[in-house]
Amino acid sequence: MPFPPSLQARLDRDGPVRVGLVGAGKFGSMFLSQVPSSPHIGLVAIADLDVERARGACRAVGWEEERIAATAFLEDGAALAARDDVEVVIEATGHPAAGIAHARAAIAAGRHIVMVNVEADVLAGPLLAAEAAEAGVVYSMAYGDQPALVAELVDWARLTGFEVVAAGKGTKYLPAFHASTPDTVWDHYGLTAQQAARAGMNPQMFNSFLDGTKSSIEMAAIANACGLACPGNGLGFPPCGAEDLQTVLRPREAGGVLAGKGMVEVVSSLERDGREVERALRWGVYVVFEAPNDYAAACFRQYGLKTDPTGRYAALYRPYHLIGLELGISVVRAAVDGAATGATRDWTGDVVAVAKRDLSAGETLDGEGGFTVWGKLVPSERSRGLDALPIGLAHGVRLGRDIPAGGTVTAGDLAESPSGQAWDTRRAMVQRFS
């Protein structure tokens, strides 16, 4: 199999890239499915709180028993990061506090870290990325996930000399979805609870995609990696198909919906009345860019690029993303090229906890995708000014006062002052990047 010269030289010299995976859930399983057909990747260890579940995931994606027997299985992600035979750690737990702990363990051990865990990245990624750089290791977004793919499109636009007007992804959205809970989520997916359970689908995780939290988290990650601005009061989720990106996602002064240029936004695959948008971008990612001069605009027309009515705004999009099936690209870029497939640089956007219903003092928040709060994207300046509770820390904490539906939860609303590594890391990040 022919490989790029840098990878082939690495294989001839040192053999396959030695990888440790933390978290054998859906994303991790998709990566595992590609390992047998990827001779350039040597997966040496898997860490998961349920080791037997991890072995079962390997069998489910087609691993032979010999490969399973040759792989180390651990319960402790930090112990995996400390192994001498691991070069690249993939953090795919989806748990913010665990992600921070594993990333720091990998950095301390001199391992590159591929952060599938966008929740942890949005909570404290600027600090983790800075610590990785200081340690001389790569801290990277996960290729195949939407933030890394959007970052790639943004880089393309900037490196070719275009101004980025907007960047983001598509999703299924209606305003009522913000109140969705794990009890109501399957109705929106057209499934029964029994069908979802048989498929092993986690209702709280899937609800985070529906209620706007996951979109907010992903857009915050993109803003923090690409130096893009966030809407002042949350994502607008304008209905928009792939052919209309360059017309809808323009500044208001040019006839679009954006407050200005250089912003993140998510487009909805549903009209507000529930009808499907034509040529919806539900699974895809995009960048809208502007011609810097009349000559470039003329080239847009000459080469058939669809533009807005002025001829100056255009879009490039990718209609699908394949999640963990594409993750090997990040592994190779980190280990062979010493490069990230997108990486947090600054604290531009934050995701704060907003009450789904009237909440009472004494209630315990249940975090992303749960019954109590959803995550809303706001500029980091606003989050800092409110001392807002980040969605990544809005789990297992008790309220000390009532919060009305739609209200932002702040640190002062909690009954106690929480502690722990995740809280300490978050505070250190806020202090350093304010």
pLDDT tens track for 108-123: 999 999 999 999 999 9
Q: Name the pLDDT band for 182 (thresholds 50, 70, 90).
A: very high
What pLDDT is recorded for position 191? Answer: 85
Tens digits of residue pLDDT in 15-53: 999 999 999 999 999 999 999 999 999 999 999 999 999
Same-domain pairing of 395 and 377: yes
Shared domain for 285 and 159, answered yes or no, is yes
Q: Are residues 115 and 154 in the same domain?
A: no
pLDDT at 316: 98
3-state secondary structure 358-370: CECCCCEEECCCC
Question: Based on the domain organization, do 13 and 134 belong to the same domain?
Answer: yes
pTM, to two decimals: 0.96
290 forms beta bridges with: 163, 313
Bridge partners of 375, per DSSP, are 353
Q: Which domain holds residue 243?
A: 147-173+212-320
Note whether 299 and 330 are same-domain residues. no
pLDDT band at 372 (very low <50, low <70, confident <90, very high): very high
- Count the neighbouring beta carbons within 10 Å of the beta carbon of residue 81: 26
Residue 303 has pLDDT above 90, yes or no: yes
**Mean pLDDT value of segment 159-186:** 96
Judge if 161 and 130 occupy the same domain.
Answer: no
Q: Transcribe 112-158 into DSSP letters.
A: EEEE--HHHHHHHHHHHHHHHHHHT--EEE-BTBHHHHHHHHHHHHH
- Cα separation, 36 vs 148, whole angstroms: 24
Contacts of 90 (CB under 8 A, 6+ apart): 19, 20, 21, 22, 23, 28, 31, 114, 116, 142, 327, 331
167 and 94 in a single domain? The answer is no
Confidence class for position 190, pLDDT limits 50, 70, 90: confident
Based on the fold, state whether residues 169 and 314 are members of the same structural domain. Answer: yes
* Residue 22 located in a structural domain: yes
The count of domains in the chain is 3
Average pLDDT, the chain: 96
**pLDDT tens per residue, range 251-292:** 999 999 999 999 999 999 999 999 999 999 999 999 999 999
Looking at residue 411, which CATH number applies to its domain?
A: 3.90.1210.10
In the predicted structure, residue 246 carries a pLDDT above the cut 90: yes
Query: Is residue 198 in some structural domain?
Result: no
pLDDT at 3 (0 to 100): 93
Co-location of 258 and 129 in the same domain: no
**Judgement on whether residues 300 and 164 belong to the same structural domain of the protein:** yes
Q: What is the CATH number of the domain that holds 23?
A: 3.40.50.720
The answer to whether residue 1 scores a pLDDT higher than 70 is no
